[in-house]
Structure 1
Amino acid sequence: MNKRKNKGYKDSGKKRFDKKNGKQNTKPGKQAGGNPKGKQKNVTAKVTCSGLSKEGKGIIQWEGKQLEVPHLMPGETAEVLVSKKGRYVNAELKRVIKPSEDRVTPPCQYYFQCGGCQLQHMNEQAQTRFKQETVKALMKPFGKPEPILTMDHPYDYRNKSHTTFGMNQHRQVIGGLYAQHTHQIIPMERCLIHDPKADEIVETIKDILKHSKMQPYNEDTGQGFLRHVLVKVGKVSGEIMVVLVVASPVFKGKNNFVKALRKAHPEITTLLMNVNNRGTSMVLGDQEKVLFGKGTITDTLCGLEFEISAKSFYQINPAQTEKLYGKAIEMAELTGKETVVDAYSGIGTISLIASRKAGKVIGVELNKDAVRDAIRNSKRNGVKNARFYQGDAGEFMVQMAARGEKADVVIMDPPRSGSDEAFLSSIVKLEPKRVVYVSCNPETQARDMKYLTANGYKVEGIQPVDMFPQTHHVESVAKLVRKEEAGNR
């Protein structure tokens, strides 16, 4: 990571993106929300940052209130612009007076506009420390976490990129990401956490559009054709999928477009058209057509090959996923005899990895398309001891317990919202010897572990993993053991 200190650092925090001229407006008093008719009060204050919020924002005190300021670091003295309107108080960074030794110049030129990354102004050590302390504070009731597993090269890691297309005020084609909390497109050529090849392909698509009659979609008028471009890259296989998300199934000039894109990028192995004519924030629609190739790509994870479709979930950072899943399998303590239930099994990644060391694996997933993918991936890898079922994992385990069936290990990998009490109580009913909890949100993980530890389980290991460098997100995997088992160990 860039370790240069920024001596004369100035930043207005969340800079507003002006819709008329496409430029940042950084003048004090002209922030998002403005000061219409004198109703909003803007005050410049000198403050000292006392710590960080869970989202990596600096914490300050102002007139008896605790406020959060993006891009401010602990110990720093700074000028902030405080905007007060009624009960709403917002603080934005204007100027760092005394910078932290851990501050660096963000290497991304779009950092202060985009909001997709939140920690690029911190050096590697500060990012690691922040994430370690976040997990440590949340897991305090259960034990001390192991040192976080970091990434050697914390850039270029995303195997999936999503670009939104539109026109600027000069009627020129632009493509990029939405500014934080808006639908205003920030024109971008390169995102430093995307796979570089994906950004190269998007730049070519922009160029093709500029020389064709194809128009980007305008969400205000409902006119235009191309809405988004989704690129998925097989980090090991090198296979590349490009998905054109369009507003209409009528693709004029399709053959010329496909020919031009393939000529510029012969490494593209499949090209799809996804039709989304709905006025929602959902990126993909239901209708899909393959324009070239087989419609899927494959990639290798933990020595197994997985087929990836446009809609299938596959971990964004495969290199760190191998560390995460490797730790989860280690915590499961498999000897080749155990029955394992993989709840929230998705396309079968954890199930199939566990199958190599377990006696039998049962994957349960609510999404029927994911179950279909899991079965296909099982056959692709010649796995004979894994079975996949479509349904609610909690209900499935309750039914297992009612039939007198046992599971030695339950591996759970829920969404960010965590699990609910109905699911957690089903684990308690099934009474597995060990529970391995893989989480993309340690806050909800801690909440769920509180229930499990109050109902017969003891935490024996916590491992944080940095899956998303440059962002405030951190993953954690924990091992819980039934107290009777723990007593016999």
Structure 2
Amino acid sequence: MAELAAQARSRPRSDRENSLEPAGKKPRLDEDKDIPVELPEVQNAHPEPPKKLSKKQRGKEKRKNKRKHTLPEPYSPDDVLWRDVVALLGKEPVDDILEAETEWDSPFEFQEEVELVVSSLSSNGESLSIAPSPKPPWVVVTPFALPGEHIRARIYRNSRLHSFADLVAVLTPNPELRDMGRVQCRYFGECAGCQYQMLSYEMQLDLKRNVVVKAYQNFSGLDPSSVPPILPTIASPLQYGYRTKITPHFEAPPKKLQKQWQENGNQAESAEKPDWLKIGFNKIGTRKTIDIEECPIATPVLNQALGPLREGIIKNIYSYKKGVSLLLRDSLEVNPDASSNSEVDALAESIEKHVCITNHKATVRERVGDKIFEYPGGSFFQNNNSVLVPLTTYVRDAIFPAASLSSAPEKPTHLVDAYCGSGLFAITLSDHFAKVAGIELSADSIRSATRNAQLNGIPADKITFRAGDAADIFASVQDFPPEHTVVVIDPPRKGTDEKFVDQLMQFGGAAVVYVSCNVHTQARDVGMILGKRTKGGGRYVLESLRGFDLFPQTAHVESVAVLRLVDTTSESG
């Protein structure tokens, strides 16, 4: 089991933190809209606590009550949900409730069942329903239900102006939206990974476009006239079998069973998987793990490797003292003895063989177009290889729009790839620039990016990767002419910050392409950028904005914003 390189993990606090994990168990939802359909899988997801609480349980309840008035972290999934709740209830009723300070007074009891008609979907993919009369204005958040559907739900947690519920039954499905024949995962409806498998792919893309629209309405602070129409979401070439990384997890054996195993000479009583052992992903709405044997959104090579991996864990389960998060990552198999250029040529001419990497320190190799990338298995790289060529091509075309091809003097010649990671944008776009610089705070990422440039035969006098100081991130590219330089930024989910934006404005590149895995922090950052001037007096305008679907069957959407610098030195302000 050493080659698995399983590492002790910090368990996600909720299914929201596990929202991009692979899919879960399929509910038995009948397609006949006239027949109520029960969902036995979710009925006991949140069992009722005992009436008499122990001292430990009373302490837990006290802590829970203390936490209940905690507001969500800005731009977090819970904050995004709050905005959707307010929009559904309406500003005036919400203002009245906030003034009366009753926004935490839920009209529902724990485990209360309620029949609802779904109004809309949140940006996180849950259904939103207004509590029926005579309940006060309140929203019930339920997974796996769709607008227009009549459902039965069971409340398991109350929050600020909304309650979370398990879906018990779809009493009247929406036949225009729901088609359970589309579902390809037997765990859908139980696992927290996927939300949209019952929807057509066209509808998924429309929903994701609306997430971008709402993000800029709620978080950018921009006048609507400053935001161009949101373009249609770019589809993923693969809707299943696309995910190149999964991280199933499992808990260590109970101490009592582990002690029995030791007393039995480190011999298990049975070679079968014990009932308590679950190797998989988070159960929707809980911190529990569900057992999964396959994941249809993962690539074939990962699913092929998952079975033997599970068998090894089952065989050795009593030797684990801590819960473990496993790594399965899709990688190209490459001859380690080949030189860089011959390696790329050989890959271009051969049928590429894929293997599963399970060691966090092992080297993973991927092809993006005609470029090859290597990086450690435990480091970040986009998890949907099929969409990376459309993504990088879109960024290239945004930098060099067709209308400006004839104006050679204005064509950008230099590229700065901030938050460059392993060099995805710097390397894939390098053919179109005279000079390219990747900036990254991580020394490990700089080493990977430098290796990737060498692997692809890009001269060192053309492309460099430089360790940036957070306090002066653009200091290493002071030799780049800003008026001929494009800046690509692809930050983590938390986005950038005002310090970075101020440095960006001080540098004043001709254009900025902001690629984001969190459209809500992107909207905040773009709002900051458009509200400031460069040191030369210019301002950026938001030229285009659109989503990219890197995670089909889920509610997640990535976003690309293109900003162009305009000369406003003659204007006041």
| TM-score, with length taken from structure 2 | 0.66
Corresponding position: 1:161 with 2:246: yes
The 1-side partners of 2:173 and 2:543 are apart by 40
Displacement, 1:108? Answer: 1.4
- Pick aligned residue for 1:476 from 559, 562, 569: 559
Cα offsets for 1:115-170 (capped at 9, x unmatched): 01122232223212211211123346311122111134300001112232457897
Cα offsets for 1:12-43 (capped at 9, x unmatched): 5xx8xxxxxxxx5x44xx44152532995433
Matches within 5 A, 1:23-102: 24=41, 26-27=42-43, 30-32=44-46, 34-37=48-51, 40-62=109-131, 63=135, 64-83=137-156, 89-100=163-174, 101-102=176-177
Q: Secondary structure at the match of 2:115?
A: strand
Give the structure with the higher percent helix. 2
Cα offsets for 1:28-74 (capped at 9, x unmatched): xx441525329954332222111111111111111211232111211
Name the counterpart of 1:381. Answer: 456
Q: Closer, same or farther in 2 for the Cα pair 1:86/1:129, shift >3 Å?
A: closer
Displacement, 1:183? Answer: 5.2
The 2-side partners of 1:418 and 1:350 are apart by 17
Q: Is the 8 A contact 1:147 1:464 kept in 2?
A: yes
Letter aligned with residue 98 of structure 1: T
Residue ranges of structure 1 left out of the alignment (5+ in a row): 16-23, 221-226, 241-266, 275-287, 289-294
The 2-side partners of 1:189 and 1:239 are apart by 28
The 1-side partners of 2:118 and 2:316 are apart by 52
Name the counterpart of 1:255. Answer: none
Q: Closer, same or farther in 2 for the Cα pair 1:124/1:74, shift >3 Å?
A: same
Name the counterpart of 1:357. Answer: 432
- Pick aligned residue for 1:121 from 198, 211, 215: 198
Q: Closer, same or farther in 2 for the Cα pair 1:197/1:38, shift >3 Å?
A: same
Corresponding position: 1:298 with 2:312: no
The 2-side partners of 1:131 and 1:345 are apart by 26
Displacement, 1:182? Answer: 5.0
Name the counterpart of 2:418. Answer: 343
Q: Closer, same or farther in 2 for the Cα pair 1:83/1:103, shift >3 Å?
A: same
Q: Cα RMSD over matched residues?
A: 3.3
Identity across the alignment (%): 26
Letter aligned with residue 121 of structure 1: M
- Pick aligned residue for 1:6 from 15, 31, 41: 31
Q: Secondary structure at the match of 1:147?
A: strand
Q: Secondary structure at the match of 1:191?
A: coil
The 2-side partners of 1:73 and 1:270 are apart by 36
Q: Closer, same or farther in 2 for the Cα pair 1:420/1:273, shift >3 Å?
A: closer
The 2-side partners of 1:433 and 1:126 are apart by 36
Equivalent pairs counted in the alignment come to 418
- Pick aligned residue for 2:444 from 362, 366, 369: 369
Letter aligned with residue 37 of structure 1: K
- Pick aligned residue for 2:328 from 231, 236, 240: 231
Displacement, 1:398? Answer: 5.6
Q: Secondary structure at the match of 1:112?
A: coil
Displacement, 1:177? Answer: 2.1
Displacement, 1:209? Answer: 5.0
Displacement, 1:219? Answer: 2.8
Q: Secondary structure at the match of 1:325?
A: helix
Letter aligned with residue 217 of structure 1: Y
Name the counterpart of 2:262. Answer: none
Q: Closer, same or farther in 2 for the Cα pair 1:309/1:458, shift >3 Å?
A: same
Q: Is the 8 A contact 1:45 1:81 kept in 2?
A: yes
Displacement, 1:272? Answer: 6.2
The 2-side partners of 1:151 and 1:46 are apart by 36
Name the counterpart of 1:326. Answer: 393
Displacement, 1:420? Answer: 0.4
The 2-side partners of 1:377 and 1:232 are apart by 19
Q: Is the 8 A contact 2:177 2:200 kept in 1?
A: yes
- Pick aligned residue for 1:437 from 514, 518, 521: 514
Displacement, 1:372? Answer: 0.3
Q: Secondary structure at the match of 1:82?
A: strand
Displacement, 1:191? Answer: 0.4
Q: Is the 8 A contact 1:46 1:78 kept in 2?
A: yes
- Consecutive aligned runs of 4 or more in structure 1 exceeding 6 Å deviation: 84-88, 167-170
Q: Is the 8 A contact 2:206 2:232 kept in 1?
A: no
Matches within 5 A, 1:84-483: 89-100=163-174, 101-105=176-180, 106-139=183-216, 141=224, 142-165=227-250, 172=274, 175-180=279-284, 184-208=288-312, 215=318, 217-219=320-322, 227-234=324-331, 237=332, 295-333=362-400, 338-384=413-459, 385-392=462-469, 395-397=472-474, 406=482, 408-455=485-532, 456-483=539-566
Name the counterpart of 1:245. Answer: none
Letter aligned with residue 398 of structure 2: M
The 2-side partners of 1:84 and 1:43 are apart by 10
Q: Is the 8 A contact 2:238 2:386 kept in 1?
A: no
Displacement, 1:400? Answer: 5.1
Q: Secondary structure at the match of 1:127?
A: helix
Q: Is the 8 A contact 1:202 1:229 kept in 2?
A: no
Cα offsets for 1:421-454 (capped at 9, x unmatched): 1111111111111000101111111111111111
Residue ranges of structure 2 left out of the alignment (5+ in a row): 1-25, 54-108, 218-223, 258-271, 336-352, 402-407, 533-538
Q: Secondary structure at the match of 2:139?
A: strand
Q: Is the 8 A contact 1:343 1:393 kept in 2?
A: no
Letter aligned with residue 90 of structure 1: F
